[in-house]
Amino acid sequence: MNLKSCSLACAASLTFMMAAPAAAVGDMPVKLTQWQGSIAYRNVRPLLSAENLTCPVGQVVSSGMVTGGSNPGGGSQITTIMFNKGAKVVISRSWETNNGRSPTVSTKIDCSV
C-alpha span between 99 and 59 (Å, rounded): 43
Beta-strand pair 104-112/88-96: antiparallel
Structure-derived torsion over alpha carbons of residues 31, 91, 81, 53, reported in degrees to the nearest 10: 170
What pTM, to 2 d.p., does this model score?
A: 0.72
- Strand pairing partners for 105? 95
- pLDDT, residue 72, reads 76
- pLDDT, residue 88, reads 95
- pLDDT, residue 25, reads 53
Report pLDDT digits (tens) over 9-67: 444 344 434 444 444 456 788 999 999 999 999 999 998 888 888 888 899 999 999 99
C-alpha span between 66 and 34 (Å, rounded): 13
